[in-house]
Amino acid sequence: MIIWVTGANGFIGRHLVRELAGAGHAVHGVGHGALDAAEAGRLGLLTWINGEIDAANLNALAAHGRPTQIFHLAGGSSVGVSIEHPFEDFSRTVTSTARLLEWLRGSAPDCALIAASSAAVYGADHVGPIPEIAVPTPMSPYGQHKLMMEQLCQSYARTFGLSCTIVRLFSVYGPNLRKQLLWDICSRLKAQSEALHLGGTGGEIRDWTDVRDVARLMTGFTATSPEHAFRIVNGGSGRGTSVADIADGLVRHWGSNTVVHYSGVGRPGDPASLLADDNRLRHSGFDWRIPLDRGLADYVAWFKGQARG
């Protein structure tokens, strides 16, 4: 099958391409990042275009054949950047999706689109597992733009019948993630701090998922039914884990005695809990395979390895 991945050079994109290429698909990608042909080939990409998601680049990819599926992972990837540069985040997330949908409408209306969204669309007002039908109240431009991306997909599905699946990803971690909580903690453990000071209370609940499971999860989505061209699925496990438990697990796997302290002051707009209601996903038959403790051990092992490499 011919499959395209936008944002294929990103953290999740690279894992997803490896999964798809490993399953024998012809994978082509577009997004940002200077990869030469050899690097792209090692990732599993037959073609790589370093540039915007626009008609010219999509037509260039189509010279290698029309896609059956597109995994759309391109877009803003940081709440912080979205606050510093909101128009950039808007362009990367919303405008790129508008261009992709318009190209699909005209050039590949039967192609199934699977787009990665974020639990950030839910915002801070939720307690316990959040079902897909919860009213979204995003707190940041990042979450707002992801919601707008979803709405554009819904609009093209409703009006033009495009098949669109939205997967709202939660706290994805794993090998090669060079930012966010796990990266910060490991970086400080490596600097051999005796004490580790983190913001927040440590009691913030997140739904942590290993990127290798997430890549397998994404590949499981095929075209929607014609009657329901649009669907949203939480890509979370339904297991909530506190920041303190993540920190303790990393310290343990690191083999350190570092004591972790919390400021007790949350970051503005940082939700107390983001936990998936995983009913829809479970009904699809998907099973999470990497327990958190093994995921954390693997992350520490990867971190120590890449630090040596």
Q: Which one of residues 160, 161, 252, 297 is an interface residue with a copy of itself (CB under 8 A)?
A: 160
Tokens read off for 248: 């303790």
Residue range at the interface with a copy of itself (CB under 8 A); choices 28-36, 43-51, 142-150, 193-201:
142-150
* Distance, CA of 309 to CA of 305 (rounded, Å): 6
- Give the footprint of a copy of itself on residues 214-273 (CB under 8 A): none
Q: Which one of residues 8, 21, 45, 148 is an interface residue with a copy of itself (CB under 8 A)?
A: 148
- The nearest distance, CB 87 to a copy of itself, in angstroms, is 4
- Give the footprint of a copy of itself on residues 50-109 (CB under 8 A): 83, 86-87, 90-91, 94-95, 98-99, 101-102, 105
140 binds a copy of itself (CB under 8 A): yes
121 binds a copy of itself (CB under 8 A): no
144 binds a copy of itself (CB under 8 A): yes
Question: Would you say 1 or 83 has its CB closer to a copy of itself?
Answer: 83
Question: Would you say 101 or 260 has its CB closer to a copy of itself?
Answer: 101
- The nearest distance, CB 6 to a copy of itself, in angstroms, is 17
Question: Would you say 4 or 156 has its CB closer to a copy of itself?
Answer: 156
* Distance, CA of 156 to CA of 296 (rounded, Å): 39
Q: Are 199 and 267 in contact (CB under 8 A)?
A: yes
Q: Which one of residues 156, 170, 254, 288 is an interface residue with a copy of itself (CB under 8 A)?
A: 156
- The nearest distance, CB 227 to a copy of itself, in angstroms, is 16
Q: Phi first, then psi: give them for residue 271, nearest 5 degrees.
A: -65, 145
Q: Which one of residues 7, 138, 175, 240 is an interface residue with a copy of itself (CB under 8 A)?
A: 138
- The nearest distance, CB 144 to a copy of itself, in angstroms, is 4
**# chain residues binding a copy of itself, by CB under 8 A:** 29
- The nearest distance, CB 104 to a copy of itself, in angstroms, is 11
Q: Give exposure, 251-277, as e/b (b: 16+ Cβ within 10 Å).
A: bebbebebebebeeebeeeebebbbbb
- The nearest distance, CB 83 to a copy of itself, in angstroms, is 6
180 binds a copy of itself (CB under 8 A): no
CA dihedral 233, 235, 239, 244 (to 10 degrees): -130
- The nearest distance, CB 99 to a copy of itself, in angstroms, is 7
Tokens read off for 195: 């004490």
Nearest to 223 by CA among 102, 70, 116: 70
Phi-psi region of 68 (alpha: psi -120 to 50; beta: other; left: phi over 0): alpha
154 binds a copy of itself (CB under 8 A): yes
What does the binding site for a copy of itself look like in residue numbers (CB under 8 A)?
Answer: 83, 86-87, 90-91, 94-95, 98-99, 101-102, 105, 135, 138-141, 144-145, 147-148, 151-152, 154-156, 158-160
